[in-house]
Amino acid sequence: MTKIIFISSDGNETAVEAADGDNVMRAALANDVDGIVAECGGSMMCATCHCYVDEAWTDAVGARADGEEDMLESAACEVRPTSRLSCQIRIRPELDGLIIHLPESQT
C-alpha cells in the first residue's frame, strides 16, 4: 500500500492508503475524499478529476499522458504546470507520501 495525501482547496488534509496499480482518482473516490468528481470513470473524457501535484513530487509523478494536455484545457479551474488528471496517475511504491492538491471545483 502507498500513502497519498490529499489537500483540499481550503487546506483540509486527508491521508489515504492506496493499492499500487490503482490510480489517484480511484484512491480519492474509494476513500470518500471530496473534490474529485471523475464523471467518466477514468476514461480521460471529462477532466473532472483535475488535481495539482505538489511541486516536490512532480518529477517522481512524471509527464502527462497522451491526450491529457488537451483534456486539461477544459478543466473547470486554472490549469497550472503541475496540473494533472488524477485518473492518469498510476500509484506505485515510489509515490509513497505523494501530496495532491485539489482544485476548488471540477464542474
Partner 1 sequence: MSYGVVIIGTGQGGFQLAASLRQEGYQSPITMVGDEDCLPYQRPPLSKAYLKDGRLDAIQLRPASFYERNSIDIVVPERVTVINRASRTVETLTGRTLPYEHLVLATGARSFIPPIPGLEAAKVHSLKTTADANDLRDALTTSRKIIVIGGGFIGLEFAAVAISLGHQVTVVEAASRLMARVVSEPMSETFRVFHEQMGSELVLGASVVEVAVGHDGLARGVRLSDGRSIEGDMILVAAGVRPNTELAAAAGLQVANGIVVNSSLMTADPSISALGDCAAFPCPSSGGMIRLESVQAATDHARTIARRIVGKSVTYDALPWFWSDQGTLKLQIAGLGQAADEDVAVVRPEGRQLVFRFKMGQLLSVETINAAGEHMAARQLLRHPSGVSLDALEARDFDIVGLAKALKEPG
**Contact partner, 85, from partner 1, ligand FES, none, Cβ < 5-8 Å per class:** ligand FES
Quick check: 47 binds ligand FES (CB under 6 A)? yes
Query: 28-35 contacts: CB < 8 A, separation 24 or more?
Result: 28/86, 28/100, 33/6, 33/102, 34/8, 34/102, 35/6, 35/8, 35/9, 35/102, 35/103, 35/106
Residue of the chain from 3, 8, 14, 44 that contacts ligand FES (CB under 6 A): 44
Q: What is the rounded distance in angstroms from the CA atom of residue 20 to the CA atom of residue 11?
A: 26
Q: What is the rounded distance in angstroms from the CA atom of residue 2 to the CA atom of residue 66?
A: 25
Quick check: 41 binds partner 1 (CB under 8 A)? yes
Quick check: 85 binds ligand FES (CB under 6 A)? yes
| Binding-site ranges for ligand FES (CB under 6 A) | 25, 38-40, 42-49, 71, 85, 87
| Binding-site ranges for partner 1 (CB under 8 A) | 22, 26, 29-32, 39-41, 43-45, 66-71, 73-74, 107
